[in-house]
Structure formats: structure tokens, C-alpha cells
Amino acid sequence: MTLPSPLEYDALITNSPNTCLGILTADCLPIFLVDQKRKVIAAVHAGRQGTALHITARVIKKMEKEFGCSSKDLFIAIGPSIGSCCYEIDERVFHPEWEPFSISRGAGKWMVDLARINIAQMKREEIKEEQIFWINLCTHCYGDLFFSYRREGETGRQLSFIGII
């Protein structure tokens, strides 16, 4: 008998009691959303590709549509991730809309702040600054605390989770 493999998605939403949702990261942003009124939670893995696809904004819209959540009732936690101090990308994957949250290094390279890009996307969904709680620690800089794919290549992962009890 073959056991099913764990589900692999970049975002999960639930209103099921006694359920936890987890995210494994090594530089990407773990983002957690909760609506205490509706008892709905979401876990988002927001890396470069998910950020480009506005994954967190899509999750907020899905929570509103499928669960009746309101953006004013959401609280959002962002865990440690690679910071703009250490996250360099090239023109092949850079998105012009990221320019306000990036520093050009010349030669088609940018230092990008994925967390601030995601926060800006949340704000466009009517999320206020006071609804967002951000652990602003760079996984690359704090090697004694966190795994970092950019720093180590093959590495472990941080497990972050949220649950409904």
C-alpha cells in the first residue's frame, strides 16, 4: 500500500476546528492570516513567484468570497524571511512594479524587499498597517537562528504554523 504524499500548495485556507496549517521556508515569507470573527485561518508561502502572482492578495479575496471574511477583520503575521539586504535578483525575474521596494545594483540586478512588496499588496486589499505584525529578521543574516537557501544551498527549513482550536 502506498501512502499519499503531503499536499503541496503555496496557500491553504480553512475554517475547520482543531486544524493547523504549516509552511516550510528557508528564505521565502511565511504569511499567516486570521479572521477571529469568522474563525478562518490561512497560511501562505510567498516567495518570488508567489509575490509576482500577488498570492497574498488572492488569499484575502478568496477568504472574502468563500468564507465571508472582511479585510477589516483580518490580522496578518509575517515571519522571518530573506531581507532586502541579501536578496539580489536579475532582470530576468525582476518585475517593474517592484521598483519602489528595490535598489538597483546596476548591470540588471536589484536588491528586492519581498516583505514590503507583499505588505503593499495587502494594503491595496484594504489591510491597514496596524493589522500587520512582521518579524523583520533576515534569514540570510541570522545564520545562528534560521536556515537560508541563499546562504547555504542545501539546507533545512523553518516550520511555521497557525491553528484553530
- Confidence at residue 6, expressed as pLDDT on a 0 to 100 scale: 58
How many angstroms separate the first and last alpha carbons of the chain?
32
Mean pLDDT of the chain: 94
Q: Cell digits for 46? A: 510567498
Q: How confident is the model at residue 7 (pLDDT cuts 50, 70, 90)?
A: low
Q: How confident is the model at residue 21 (pLDDT cuts 50, 70, 90)?
A: very high
Taking only the tens place, the pLDDT of each residue in 118-136 is: 999 999 999 999 999 999 9
Half-sphere exposure at residue 23, Cβ-oriented, CA atoms within 13 angstroms: 28
Q: Which residues, 6 or more positions from 43, have their beta carbon under 8 angstroms from its beta carbon? A: 11, 12, 21, 22, 23, 30, 31, 32, 160, 161, 162
Domains of the chain: 11-82+113-164 (3.60.140.10)
